[in-house]
Homo-oligomer: A and B are copies of this chain.
Amino acid sequence: MAEINRQWVVAQASTSAGMCLEPEVFGLHEAPIPEPGPGQILIRNLIFACEPLVHAWVKGVPGRIDPLPVGATIKGHAGGQVVTSQHPGFNVGDLVHGNLAWADYTLSDGNDVNGVPLSLQVEGFDLSTSMITLGMTGLCAYIGLLDIGSPKPGDMVVVSAAAGGIGNIAGQLAGLAGCEVIGIAGDENKCQRLVSDLGFTAAIDYKSSDVSAELGKLAPGGVNVMFDNVGGQVLDAVLLNLASWGRVVVCGGIGSYDNPQMGVYNHILLAQRNGSMHGFWYSDYQQNFARATQRLGQWLKEGKLKEVVDIAHGFEQVPEASRGIFSGANMGKQLVQIASPVEA
């Protein structure tokens, strides 16, 4: 157990136009381990989840999230274990996850930075599964693909950033819904794994292929549902191949986060195809969480849904691993493990 509390802070404001933060934004500070007061708990952080949103927490999102000032400790989705509790709802040894400090320890009142109670792990699953497949990652995939995209058996579904944390689950869920599913990913090896390990019908390496031409061959009847994490040219290529009454679910736009000049040029095809595009913000769908979590857990237990994680090790890896998802360095959800839970 660390004697000090290392923490990643905002060393200087980001000046990049995109979302991916420059290395010099991250500063490593050390401080004493905080002491919980009445009503507080001390969490030893174990696992960090790398999400595009982590960077939004730092830079802010107008109307949604205030940016962090220079000097503030960065927060992000992480899991940990309660090591000291002065809070009646938590016992020492409890595993929790939520928006925790990018630090060895988080001092908490039991709510995360949004005032949402820190989630407990789901019965029968370990902390990382509770955080990822049964947490925001899996819920985004479930709600976006199934509740909003509403694919029907036999539909042709396309998932972009298909080798990413949310994308690989969305693609597997499309398969479970009886659809054909084409993944778009950033290298040949990832594409092969989508097909051989995760049941995708086919996969397209956008870095070495003409995505629109490949879709024309693989989906001659058009794309019924696209689950989009990318935007820009990838979205345009799918719009060119959209079937009549096709639907695009806008989960993210990682391609445009770091290239704000990357526009969408084919939106007018929505009119010619009676198409639609549906954005969603996952925390506004809390009424869907319980059912989604129950089903995702069931499919995991039955082996119908595979969990794909890419784990880095060591506290010092957190900034670079978080940056890496913007260049597609990961296969599946990128995690950074900094410690292991202690048995009760």
Contact = CB atoms under 8 A, between A and B. Distances in A.
Interface residues of A, number: 34
Contacts of A256: 265, 268
A175 B284 CA distance: 30
Contact of A268 (B64, B250, B274): B250
A225 to B, nearest CB: 14
Nearest to A248: B277
Contacts of A280: 271, 274
B281 A268 contact: no
A270 B261 CA distance: 17
B270 A279 contact: yes
A235 B61 CA distance: 20
A5 interface: no
This protein's copies in its complex: 2
B260 A263 contact: no
A251 interface: yes
A277 B284 CA distance: 18
A29 interface: no
Interface in A261-295: 261-265, 267-281, 284
Interface in A26-61: 61
A341 interface: no
Nearest to A268: B253
Nearest to A257: B268
Given A267-B279, A268-B279, A270-B277, 10 more contacts: A253-B267, A253-B268, A256-B268, A263-B264, A270-B278, A271-B280, A273-B279, A275-B279, A276-B279, A277-B277
CB-based closest 9 A-B pairs: A263-B263, A270-B279, A271-B279, A253-B268, A277-B277, A276-B278, A263-B265, A264-B264, A250-B271
Interface of A: 61, 63-64, 231, 235, 244, 250-253, 256-257, 260-265, 267-281, 284
